[in-house]
């Protein structure tokens, strides 16, 4: 490690930030990033420094407008990464903490931003929604509010049924049916919030038009070939990443855990003596489930040989970068990467849950067992699997009128 840390940056940077390029690289390595990632980030900082030199800018002149110009220039040159100011956040934070460049200007305060923050609090405390759902509804509500109030001032007296219908109609070419349902759901939540807080004189949630698309209409996708063995075989269990991915896939395929439930799993949630595991589900729900021996062995192998030393209580951690738990997005990416290694179509966590439900039905299980295994809040969610059991559905089905005469 000493040889890597002491190695100088291979290029000679120029410009007002040149003396900070190598320091930034060493700081990233200290945080746990790989030398290659640190070098790539430092290279972009060197590019920024050279661009400032050509533009005649000093370190104290690097503001929001200049950063945007640099990002635009990178897009014009065809770069595929670090094309926006947001992507430069790590280096900008490093330079600002060191006092090299001016501090970030405060975000402009507007009524829409304040309203969305209060809306998020309402969803968390009054509706008991999870953070992912809150973030999605705030994002969709922002689209509506900015369409109604483009200047950031909440002109809620303009909201009326015609405006709601026009907004939903205009979005139908942007979103698919399932996303349109999310949009209308978020909009109804926002309108109920506005009415309950006295910002509107009437509850207009009923004026939001419904989206045509019946949840239980089509048949669910067939389970298809069992992809789990191929996904598991693609994991290299000689290194920490492979051990982590193997344990994650075992939890998805064997217990049907969601990605967010795996990311929330704590060390104390695995009860080794009783052979059980506590699952922290949606809406603060806690469930105790039996922990099969093969899944427990996969988790134990990762904890003993693959997990980096950490003060975090989460079971699954990042393997590169700062010491932190693996995020929900990182867990979602595990089966997707494994499918790429195995040479099979892209597979997500939901497909593994679907596979498990189909497997229970194939072995003679019923819908109650599926609901309990997958921890569904509503039996309507489990009802989609009733249509998979064609043999059971064929028994009560009546023959089509005239079918016998047609065959004769």
Residues marked active site are found at: 258, 282, 350, 353, 376, 385
Q: Name the β-bridge partners of 264.
A: none
Closest CA to 28 of 19, 16, 38, 17: 38
**Which of 181, 342, 187 minimizes the C-alpha distance to 249?**
342
Q: Cβ of 99: how many Cβ atoms within 10 Å?
A: 9
Longest pairwise C-alpha distance within the chain: 92
Question: Which tokens in the block code for residue 264?
Answer: 């929330």
List Cα–Cα distances, 187 to 151, 152, 158, 167, 228, in angstroms. Answer: 20, 18, 15, 10, 38
Instruction: Give the separation between CA 168 and CA 163, rounded to whole angstroms.
Output: 9
Question: Residue 22, class by beta-carbon neighbours within 10 Å (0-12 exposed, 13-18 middle, 19+ buried)?
Answer: middle
Contacts 24+ apart (CB under 8 A), 17-22: 17/45, 17/46, 17/48, 17/49, 17/52, 17/59, 17/95, 17/100, 18/46, 18/49, 20/45, 20/49, 20/94, 20/95, 20/98, 20/100, 21/45, 21/46, 21/49
Q: Which two tokens stand for residue 50?
A: 């050279």
């Amino acid at each position: 490690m000493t040889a890597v840390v002491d190695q100088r940056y291979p290029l000679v940077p120029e410009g007002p930030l040149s003396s900070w390029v190598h320091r930034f690289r060493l700081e990233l390595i200290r945080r746990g990033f790989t030398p290659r990632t640190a070098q790539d980030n430092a290279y972009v900082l060197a590019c920024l420094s050279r661009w400032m030199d050509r533009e005649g800018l000093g370190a104290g002149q690097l503001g929001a407008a200049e950063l945007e110009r640099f990002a635009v220039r990178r897009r014009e040159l065809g770069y595929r990464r670090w094309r926006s100011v947001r992507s430069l956040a790590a280096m900008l934070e490093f330079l600002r903490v060191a006092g090299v460049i001016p501090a970030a200007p405060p975000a402009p305060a507007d009524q829409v931003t304040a309203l969305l923050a209060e809306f998020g609090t309402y969803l968390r405390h009054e509706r008991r929604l999870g953070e992912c759902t809150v973030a999605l509804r705030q994002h969709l509500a922002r689209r509506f509010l900015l369409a109604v109030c483009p200047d950031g001032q909440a002109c809620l007296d303009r909201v009326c049924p015609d405006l709601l219908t026009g907004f939903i109609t205009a979005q139908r070419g942007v979103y698919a049916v399932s996303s349109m349902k999310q949009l209308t759901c978020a909009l109804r939540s926002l309108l109920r919030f506005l009415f309950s807080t006295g910002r509107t004189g009437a509850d207009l949630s009923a004026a939001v038009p419904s989206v045509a698309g019946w949840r239980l209409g089509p048949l669910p996708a067939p389970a298809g070939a069992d992809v789990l063995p191929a996904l598991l075989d693609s994991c290299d269990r000689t290194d920490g990443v492979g051990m982590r991915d193997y344990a994650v896939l075992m939890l998805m395929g064997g217990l049907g855990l969601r990605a967010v439930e795996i990311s929330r799993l704590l060390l104390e949630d695995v009860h080794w003596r009783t052979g059980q595991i506590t699952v922290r589900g949606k809406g603060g729900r806690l469930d105790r489930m039996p922990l099969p021996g093969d899944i427990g062995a996969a988790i134990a192998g990762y904890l003993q040989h693959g997990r980096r030393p950490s003060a975090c209580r989460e079971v699954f951690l990042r393997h590169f970068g700062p010491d932190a738990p693996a995020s929900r997005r990182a867990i979602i990416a595990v089966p997707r990467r494994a499918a790429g290694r195995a040479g099979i179509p892209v597979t997500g966590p939901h497909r593994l849950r679907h596979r498990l439900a189909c497997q229970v039905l194939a072995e003679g299980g019923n819908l109650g067992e599926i609901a309990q295994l997958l921890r569904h809040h509503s039996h309507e969610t489990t009802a989609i699997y009733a249509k998979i059991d064609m043999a059971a559905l064929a028994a009560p089905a009546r023959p089509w009128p005239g079918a016998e005469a047609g065959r004769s």
